[in-house]
Structure 1
Amino acid sequence: MPQPPVEESEPEIEPPTDTAVSKPAKPAISNDNGWDNGVLDGTFHVVTNLWWGENARVYKLYENDVLIDTQLLTAHTPGAQTITTIITNRQNGTYKYYAELSNDFGTTRSDLHEVTVSQALPAKPVIASDNWDGDGNYTVRMDMWWGTNGTTFNLYENNILIHTQNLADTTPAAQSAEKPVTNKAVGDYVYQAELVNAAGSTRSDVMTVHVTK
């Protein structure tokens, strides 16, 4: 009695072997701080490029001599390799970066690359009121026209916090917020707005509202 044909199993495919014969070629580092949104804020990308040559299997990025990112890479010598690290919420200052690329034959370090952050704090807001008639009911409005956004809006009246509001961060787009004020007695009221983000806070100039009736 004839036997049914035996199905052949699929051959095992071994992973490709990289052809590197020495340690990785030297990488170059760049960043997009200021190019991404026009603001030298504390959120940007550090990009490491190996343009051609012996490839790496491991990438490490150091910030001020502290290891902040490690990634495993697919090597395909002599093709280019590009690795990106996202940097967020850095305060104003200068940050020094270097990358290390490694394979079975050794490690190659990039040159030092500096990034200056000078606009991490929220841009300065301005405030106004619509108390044209001098009564005790009016609205205090905050506007930040362009720049690094805040994620929280605080309003102070006579140096006392009277209102807090969460804001969406869409840097460098404008931000605004309003606070209705009611039933104020005759007198002077001094207001100041504050925008807060992960790097710190920025306050507006003070504004005095005169309630006369």
Structure 2
Amino acid sequence: MSDITFEFVDAAGNHGTATATVSNITAKSKAKPGTVVLSDDNGYDTALQDGKYNVTMNMWYGENGRIYKLYENDVLIDTKILTDNSPNAQTVVSAVYGKKNGTYRYFAELTNAFGTTTSGTHVVTVSKAAPDKPVLSNDNWDGDGNFKVSMNMWWGTNGGTYNLYENGILIYTEVLTNHTPNAQSSVMTVTNRAIGNYEYRAEIVNYAGATSSDKMIVKVTK
């Protein structure tokens, strides 16, 4: 019989522990776990270093661990109970998502009754969490007050919301479907504008921030 203590952090950042008593565990290991190696697949799915990826722990051969813990920037983010099949390999995948641009340091601990083995530090750099830049165009070829304003984000990290501003005022909002890294587009019909110049700016937003287009001037002449 043995006691296993779990550490956790809730969404508000509060730390806590919980202890479970476990009996009848058959252990094949005879020493502390073998060498622990971390890797990641950031960019494998979209070719973008975005904020969604997997961190994988491998212990290729040796004494197995019973408890796996993964730390991100020294904070525990994942814990799993493993099966001891020493000396076979052990693999654990931890899903990471919602990370903003920055550098994230990971290390893993693999623990059994004989001790704990800690991996080296594995660094993941996120550089494409925010949406890529949208481009505006229009079809006001005749100069009247009725035209279409089109937004295109040709390739890159997608956004979930599209905002269109006219002379600094938000005039249109649309919910977008995220299918990174494919293109995103939207068309808004503008009507009955008086003679004058109109400045437009597009903005694509996701959890990591907002990315704006260059400003576009449309001239209404009749």
TM-score, normalised via structure 1 length: 0.91
Matched, 1:157 2:166: yes
Question: How far apart are the structure 1 equivalents of 2:185 and 2:70?
Answer: 38
Whichever of the two has the greater Rg, that structure is: 1
Residue of structure 2 aligned with 1:177, choices 183, 186, 189? 186
Matched, 1:17 2:26: yes
Question: Where in structure 2 are the equivalents of 1:95-106 lying within 5 Å?
Answer: 95-106=104-115
Q: Which residue identity does 1:115 align to in structure 2?
A: V
Residue of structure 1 aligned with 2:98, choices 89, 111, 114? 89
Matched, 1:205 2:199: no
Residue by residue over 1:79-118, the C-alpha shift from the partner in whole angstroms, topping out at 9 and shown as x without a partner, is 1111111111111111100001111221110000011111
Question: How far apart are the structure 1 equivalents of 2:135 and 2:191?
Answer: 21
CA RMSD of aligned residues (A): 1.4
Matched, 1:42 2:51: yes
Question: How far apart are the structure 1 equivalents of 2:182 and 2:200?
Answer: 24
Question: How far apart are the structure 2 equivalents of 1:209 and 1:180?
Answer: 13
Shift of 1:73: 1.3
| Structure with the bigger percentage of strand | 2
The residue that corresponds to 2:68 in the other structure is: 59
Question: How far apart are the structure 2 equivalents of 1:75 and 1:146?
Answer: 45
Gap regions ≥5 residues in structure 1: 1-14
Q: Which residue identity does 1:81 align to in structure 2?
A: Q
Gap regions ≥5 residues in structure 2: 1-23
Moved over 2 A (4+): 15-18
Shift of 1:16: 7.8
Paired positions, count:
200
Question: How far apart are the structure 2 equivalents of 1:59 and 1:178?
Answer: 49
The residue that corresponds to 1:7 in the other structure is: none
Matched, 1:76 2:85: yes
Shift of 1:122: 0.5
Residue of structure 2 aligned with 1:32, choices 5, 25, 41? 41
Residue of structure 1 aligned with 2:177, choices 154, 158, 168? 168
Shift of 1:206: 0.3
